[in-house]
């Protein structure tokens, strides 16, 4: 969230949606999908979404129940599925897997889902009002993330080379995925 007139943190050509009031500006950069619809349709349109990580009615137990219902799904795919829990983008999914020490291709049924969901909520809340998200706690450029976008670079924790692959719910919807082969099992 920016104040009106404040310098944008990324180039204007990457902005996809801008919402502005008299005292705040929210800019969506690099959004994969933007849909606009009348407020009256909100309940119906969003009924498929899982519990909202940033919502006042957050229900972690329900998110865990939904994840556990598909125990063979790869955890990186399950956490990004907005029907399980709503709010995590691909970057934070990758980072949550690193922070929990989980290889992204592990089946959800082998993962401590309650701990992963709890961490996801803490990470997303910590970044709610930040212009540039960080999971390392370091806001300096190039130091904000543990694994995402760092293929071939050294793990910040153990020094191993960060690996890269593509995972998704099907052969078309593949997302860039990064992990440390040593820290994540």
Q: Which residues bind Zn ion (CB under 5 A)?
A: 155, 157-158, 160, 180, 182-183
Q: Please say which residue, 158 or 174, places its beta carbon nearer to Zn ion.
A: 158
Report d(CA 178, CA 162) in Å as an integer.
7
Nearest CB to Zn ion, comparing residues 88 and 155 = 155
Token pair for 42: 């909100």
Within 10 A of 165 (CB to CB), how many other CB atoms are there? 14
Nearest distance from C-beta of residue 163 to Zn ion, angstroms = 10
Residue 158 CB, shortest distance to Zn ion, in Å, is 3
Report residue 72 as tokens. Answer: 């063979």
Closest residue to Zn ion, judged by C-beta, is 155
Tokens of 88: 């995590």
Other C-beta atoms within 10 Å of 82: how many? 14
Q: Which is nearer to Zn ion, 96 or 180 (CB)?
A: 180
Closer to Zn ion by Cβ: residue 64 or 102: 102
Is the separation of the CB atoms in 85 and 79 below 8 Å?
yes
Cβ(103)–Cβ(124) below 8 Å: no
How near is the Cβ of 96 to Zn ion at its closest, in Å?
A: 15
**Least separation in angstroms between CB 28 and Zn ion:** 32
């Amino acid at each position: 969230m920016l104040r009106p007139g404040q310098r944008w943190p990324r180039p204007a050509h990457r902005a996809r949606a801008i919402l502005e009031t008299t005292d705040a500006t929210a800019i969506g950069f690099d959004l994969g999908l933007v849909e606009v619809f009348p407020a009256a349709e909100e309940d119906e349109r969003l009924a498929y979404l899982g519990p909202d990580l940033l919502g006042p009615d957050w229900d972690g137990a329900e998110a865990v129940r939904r994840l556990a219902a598909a125990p063979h799904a790869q955890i990186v795919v399950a956490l990004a599925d907005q029907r399980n829990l709503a709010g995590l983008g691909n970057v934070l999914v990758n980072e949550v897997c690193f922070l929990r020490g989980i290889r992204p291709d592990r089946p959800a049924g082998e993962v401590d889902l309650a701990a992963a969901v709890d961490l996801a909520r803490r990470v997303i809340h910590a970044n709610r009002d930040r212009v540039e998200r960080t999971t390392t706690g370091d806001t300096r450029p190039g130091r904000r993330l543990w694994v995402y976008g760092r293929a071939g670079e050294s793990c910040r924790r153990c020094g191993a080379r960060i690996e890269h692959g593509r995972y998704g719910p099907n052969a078309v919807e593949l997302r860039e995925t990064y992990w440390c082969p040593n820290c994540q099992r």
